[in-house]
């Protein structure tokens, strides 16, 4: 079974290597002379006096590098990069903000102010290229409530990320409280040509959830946002300034389809679900596993998702009794924080599987493609049928660590935390299930 754990790590590493962002941008942003094409949209760079870049998200540095390589040597751009890490190679003309994630910091607010200020200067002769990736909701923020402080912003975001609500519900709140989300960045430069290129960590068809949809129409309503506040008891957790703002304004509505702000705004997905599943599937099959992909459990409660996916793995084993099998799953699971430990949803998911796979020839890996799992320094964790036995021999109780939201500490002590460091990417979380044959 130790071999299965190592193979799961290998498949994860090969998948990370296959989703290189600058290379993907050079491949998908097809430039011929002065024209760049992505999907159905072609833009003539020579038609604009200025090109501005707004790179927001965990993959912001890699995306900015990729775009620069597409534009070079004939065109250059100025703009703003908001990311959770420092750039390895700062570029002339770009202003960098080391912003906060999952909770905004001073740089998150400063980045939002700079972006809004620059967008107000953009007219018909401006091309604005937004480079969006996951994490953008925290990395750039400015609230609509007048006088809102960093403490107000942080209280709101902490309440949202710990309430147990699915990501689309969290984003509905974010968009209706924010001056930079839910289409409002597009509205800040209504006459400029706006192109959004995205590396998505959200399900297909829900692109407005990526970085809380700053450049596309918002499908959620303020009535829905109010219902979410009530359902999860969030209103009482807000700072007084935001509670007063809600009472006075009832939350201004976000821009909707048909708004003039989107007349010159276009969205193109660079990397998404298929780009994550395909290399993982190829790597697992190259390792000799009969492989199936499943994205059914996106946004499911963690323990329900673990039970379902392990059942699917057993079904796959039953259908292939003499072959090793692999199940590849993606997406985010909901994992409410119930303690003050160290970890995130990926290590918590793996921990939830430990007792379920005890004594069985199965390995489970769950990790974030950004290399960061919650408040831990790891990407996630891996376990196998021996993990429970090893934990007990070391005096570690899985249930206690799960209650404390301390899954990282559990796996770090066993040597099974997965450390990649920040990857510069941010597609979806990846879960890899491997199993030996039932016979042979």
* 92-125 exposure pattern, b = at least 16 Cβ within 10 A, e = fewer: eebebbbbbbbbbbebbbbbbebbbebbeebeee
Candidate from 46-50, 85-89, 269-273, 382-386 with smallest mean pLDDT = 269-273
What are the tens digits of pLDDT across the range 362-421? 999 999 998 989 999 999 999 999 999 999 999 999 999 999 999 999 999 999 999 998
Within-domain flag for 25: no
Same domain, 264 and 278: no
What are the tens digits of pLDDT across the range 194-252? 999 999 877 777 888 889 999 999 999 999 999 999 999 999 999 999 999 999 988 99
C-alpha distance from residue 139 to each of 83, 153, 255, 258, 337 (Å): 6, 12, 21, 28, 21
- End residue of a domain, out of 271, 286, 312: 271
Within-domain flag for 356: yes
Cα 167 to Cα 383: distance, rounded to the nearest angstrom = 26
Q: What is the dihedral of CA 182, 185, 190, 196, to 10 degrees?
A: -90
Question: Which residue carries 């993606």 as its tokens?
Answer: 330
User: Given the DSSP bridges, would you call strands 362-368 and 325-330 parallel, antiparallel or unpaired?
Assistant: unpaired
Same domain, 209 and 300: no
What are the tens digits of pLDDT across the range 277-313? 999 999 999 999 999 999 899 889 999 999 999 999 9
The average pLDDT across 65-82 equals: 94
Residue 440 banded pLDDT, cuts 50, 70, 90: very low
Same domain, 184 and 329: no
Sheet of strand 265-271, all strands in order from the earlier edge strand to the far edge? 94-98, 78-83, 50-56, 126-133, 193-199, 265-271
Within-domain flag for 20: no
The average pLDDT across 111-116 equals: 98
Same domain, 266 and 371: no
Looking up residue 254, the CATH number of its domain turns out to be 3.40.50.10180
Cα 395 to Cα 210: distance, rounded to the nearest angstrom = 41
Q: Residue 81 is part of which domain span?
A: 33-271
Within-domain flag for 315: yes
pTM to 2 decimal places: 0.82
Q: List the structure tokens of 404.
A: 């404390």
- End residue of a domain, out of 234, 252, 271: 271
Q: By the 8 A CB rule, do 330 and 321 touch?
A: no
Please enumerate in sequence order all residues whose Cβ is within 8 A of that of 284, keeping only pairs 6 or more positions apart, or say none.
Answer: 11, 291, 326, 328, 432, 434
Same domain, 376 and 424: yes
Q: What does the pLDDT read at residue 314?
A: 96
What are the tens digits of pLDDT across the range 114-130? 999 999 999 999 999 99
- End residue of a domain, out of 241, 271, 301: 271
Same domain, 185 and 202: yes
Within-domain flag for 353: yes
Within-domain flag for 397: yes
Within-domain flag for 26: no
Looking up residue 401, the CATH number of its domain turns out to be 3.40.1480.10
Same domain, 161 and 127: yes
Same domain, 190 and 315: no
Same domain, 250 and 360: no
C-alpha distance from residue 333 to each of 269, 295, 299, 410, 430 (Å): 23, 11, 5, 20, 11
Same domain, 190 and 288: no
- Domains in the chain, number: 2
Q: What does the pLDDT read at residue 408?
A: 98
Same domain, 151 and 297: no
Same domain, 286 and 226: no
Q: By the 8 A CB rule, do 324 and 292 touch?
A: no
Other Cβ atoms closer than 10 A to 317: 21
Cα 109 to Cα 91: distance, rounded to the nearest angstrom = 22
Please enumerate in sequence order all residues whose Cβ is within 8 A of that of 259, keeping only pairs 6 or more positions apart, or say none.
Answer: 183, 187, 217
Within-domain flag for 301: yes
């Amino acid at each position: 079974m130790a071999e299965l754990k190592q193979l799961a790590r290998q498949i994860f590493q090969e998948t990370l290597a296959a989703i290189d962002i600058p290379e993907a941008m050079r491949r998908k942003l097809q430039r011929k002379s002065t024209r760049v094409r992505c999907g159905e949209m072609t833009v003539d760079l020579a038609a604009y006096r200025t090109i501005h870049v707004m790179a927001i998200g965990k993959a912001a540095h890699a995306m900015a590098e990729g775009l620069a390589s597409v534009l070079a040597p004939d065109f250059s751009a100025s703009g703003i990069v908001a990311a959770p890490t420092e750039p390895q190679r700062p570029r002339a003309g770009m202003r960098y903000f080391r912003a906060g994630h999952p909770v905004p910091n001073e740089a998150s607010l400063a980045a939002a102010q700079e972006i809004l200020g620059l967008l107000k200067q953009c007219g018909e002769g401006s091309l604005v290229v937004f480079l969006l990736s996951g994490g953008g909701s925290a990395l750039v923020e400015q609230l609509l409530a007048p006088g809102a402080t960093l403490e107000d912003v942080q209280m709101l975001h902490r309440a949202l990320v710990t309430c147990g609500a699915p990501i689309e519900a969290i984003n509905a709140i974010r968009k209706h409280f924010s001056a930079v989300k839910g289409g409002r960045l597009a509205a800040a430069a209504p006459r400029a040509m706006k192109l959004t290129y995205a590396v998505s960590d959200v399900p297909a068809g829900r692109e407005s959830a990526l970085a809380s949809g700053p450049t596309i129409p918002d499908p959620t309503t303020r009535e829905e946002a109010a219902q979410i506040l009530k359902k999860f008891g969030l209103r009482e957790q807000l700072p007084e300034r935001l509670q007063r703002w809600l009472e006075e304004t009832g939350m201004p509505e976000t821009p909707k389809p048909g708004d003039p702000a989107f007349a010159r705004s276009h969205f193109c997905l660079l990397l998404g679900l298929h780009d994550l599943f395909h290399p993982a599937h190829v790597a697992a099959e190259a390792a000799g596993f009969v492989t199936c992909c499943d994205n059914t459990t996106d946004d499911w409660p963690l323990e329900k998702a673990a039970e379902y996916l392990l059942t699917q793995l057993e079904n796959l084993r039953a259908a292939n009794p003499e072959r090793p099998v692999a199940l590849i799953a993606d997406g985010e699971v909901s994992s409410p924080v119930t303690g003050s430990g160290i970890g995130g949803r990926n290590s918590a998911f793996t921990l939830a599987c430990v007792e379920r796979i005890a004594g069985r020839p199965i390995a489970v890996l769950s990790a974030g493609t950004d290399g960061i799992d919650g408040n831990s320094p790891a990407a996630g964790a891996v376990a196998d049928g021996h993990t429970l036995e090893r934990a007990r021999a070391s005096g570690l109780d899985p249930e206690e660590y799960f209650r404390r939201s301390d899954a990282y500490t559990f796996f770090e002590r066993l040597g099974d935390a997965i450390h990649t460091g920040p990857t510069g990417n941010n597609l979806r979380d990846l879960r890899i299930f491997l199993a030996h044959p039932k016979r042979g």
